[in-house]
Structure 1
Amino acid sequence: MATEMLIQLGILVFTLGIFYSIYNLPKRAFTRIRFKDRSDNQAHQHFIQGAQLLSRARSTRSKSTSLKFAKAAGGEADKALALDPRDPAALILKALVLDLMGHKTAALKSLDSALSPPGVKELSERERGDALFKRAELQVALNRRRRVASAVADLEQAVKLSPDNANAYCLLGRCYEIEGLKEEARRSLQHALKIEPDLASAREGMARLGPNCIV
């Protein structure tokens, strides 16, 4: 009799334990989701603040004030990355800040991370195109001759993803020119001038390629 009661009591405790687990599982899952959403929201707020500070850094004429805003923007990018280390938008923001501060090698590494999977999938085509253009720009600035092939690969993708980016077409034309591909260079510069007829760097490039090339 006592044995049967103990068995029944054990079954009851076990059953209550299962019901408790089933009841609390959705709650625990929801808590994790809410925590993740809260972290994402905080990271987004830091990104927005950093982007605003970067805009102020670029628009001011005072070098000291620009540097102050750039450092603050970098701090906001770091806070966003502390919450989500693979966030490509925050990595791109960090790269732009580093470039403005003259740290081009570090900026290039940050863009490499932003354009690597799986984070790159979170970027729109336009965002990816602009990031590829910026990476190519840094590659050319750091070592024009050695990195020009990598820059061309990035720019050929960039103009497909962002077909209205005149500066990307212009830099692609310059890279083709460096590689001795004059016809390809001319076509890229003509694309740039169709988008922005007064783009000085494109007109200068056409002039370098020879007479009768300016459209």
Structure 2
Amino acid sequence: MIHTNVSRRKFLAGSYILLAGTLAGCSRNTKTNAELGSPALPSAFASMYGPLPNEQFPLPAINLDKIPERFLRREIAYQTNENVGTIIVDTKNYFLYLIQENGRAIRYGVGLGRAGFEWSGRAFVARKAVWPTWTPPEDMIARQPELEQWSWKNGGMPAGLDNPLGARALYIYQGSKDTLYRLHGTAEIWSIGKAVSSGCVRMLNQDIIDLHRRVPNQTPIVVL
């Protein structure tokens, strides 16, 4: 189909604004990638997943060729009875949804470790951490004794680019009980959309940073 220069400029500009809205806030009029069919999407995603040089540990840009496009962050139509602001983790399809107004949700791709499949139900975000330390659970240390150096008694693994929790972590509780369920960042971009050997719910570092700033403590979470 042949477009005039004016219509093409309007189309591309509209597509860029649409995806940029997922960075700055919630856009009520956004469409899904399939609805758009826009040639401008790759550059918009590149901006969304570009380098973050001002982080405590500067993050490089993400190589988007390593991730199926369906697992990249976007706002979509999503019908649910859950309240606005609720986090829903769909472990079957490797998606996390943050419920928005007017039947919308921000959708993120996730990877799931063994612990990510072991728990389901309702809970809430008890605390959030920026560049958290990591302490392997005892059963992991039993399997991998070399991880003893990062045990609780030794203070855990310091924050950094190689830390398994990545740039941010959300800690999930039921009442006063820690479920040991975590939403966290990862540098292992290949693991998004897959089941891996360890961990809970892992997200691209740029995505967990985005989610971390959007949700306060006490945010409800539903794991399906």
Bigger Rg over Cα: 1
Q: TM-score range by the shorter chain?
A: under 0.3
Structure in which a larger fraction of residues adopt helix: 1
Provide TM-score, normalisation by structure 2: 0.23
Provide TM-score, normalisation by structure 1: 0.23
Structure in which a larger fraction of residues adopt strand: 2
RCO comparison, higher one (Cα < 8 Å, 6+): 2
